[in-house]
Structure 1
């Protein structure tokens, strides 16, 4: 079933109804945040620029979602969208103390605040996806296949995504309680992005028709890179305290994965631009 979220063009390909503003905010937001993480890797004590990028990035993504609020609310439910936006704001605000005073990053107390905020943001994302899952099930019960209009993601992909964000959030909750790090905390932080990558992979055909194979592939690779952030720490927890490997894995690899997510967004924008030009050309 085709909804307003995906219309076939004259050529039969599926168009992208998300606005250029929302797509641009999302792509730039991911790129900016990822670069902020890479900056912390390069300067482990952190700088105002690095933390400023980490504040601005999620805010831009939140603005992008806000511009699509009405449209997305009709499809997946207003509370799911609102929780996602709130989670992004929590994510952004977590970096404000370090933007004001980069020296605070050396404080265990402020580190706990940072990781608790991250945990809260990721758990809000998980809750949002669980709400989408419940909405999809409710629509199917009420109207069969036609009642599922607007939610094309499968139950498996939604479940993998929700559980992935939940595990990632719980991993940071455990890390906030023990800043030395444990196999449990690192394992949860590794498992979460792996499940997110699987969520995208299980929905590959549909997403590829809408967003393009290149964009979806880059997003999956980005999630895979992201999952490598703490894998080494699972096998050797003390490695997280290494002055070299700790920042490289925790901030560098993580930032690279997020940057790939931003590149995926840029590819989606390029695909939308090509489709728009194609529709504007007169038929031969």
Structure 2
């Protein structure tokens, strides 16, 4: 969870970009440590235990994809990729291996800060409290009683619809790739059947969203996967990905 003393590790080989990112983060009150190589980044990540890692993929001594693979072997801290390598396959690989988000270069500082805030707000999966009903829009999800209500009335979901909703809602704000969701909801044998997701996401939106064509909570990351956006606490600030200029993802309803 975000606090003024949250420690952020920036792994980036370009000094100018490190300076820009560090200046922006420190202006928000966060502590920052820097690494200019994958080897140094792994050492700092293990020894300093940052609350968030911002990672460039094009490092001089290795591929950032390899860093993600190693890092996820022993840490569940949020990881935001910040890279000029914006090909769809690269994004999917990074997210499949455990990155929480991906922002392309060039990037806007305001959007970077918004994504950092979202990542730091997200509780670790092990600390999440599914016993507390989750409310978003006019919907309440009670994972203990396995109930979904809209406007106080019980809503009938199929078993698959319920599993898909829980998979997304358990990681609010996080991009989940098609393969991740197919594997988690349908099992490892279904990872090539993307049409399953399109069908069931359409059904969920019709049951849960006020306007299924313009969803506010069940968002598509084109060519990559889906993201669940919960309601923010009163006074919170929400940044919709489809409303900001970005070299990274853009949220869309389909």
TM interval, short-chain normalised: under 0.3
Quick check: which one's helix share is greater? 1
Quick check: which one's strand share is greater? 2
Q: Structure with the greater relative contact order (CA < 8 A, sep ≥ 6): 1 or 2?
A: 1
- Compute the TM-score of the two structures, normalised by the length of structure 2: 0.27
* Rg larger in structure: 1
- Compute the TM-score of the two structures, normalised by the length of structure 1: 0.25
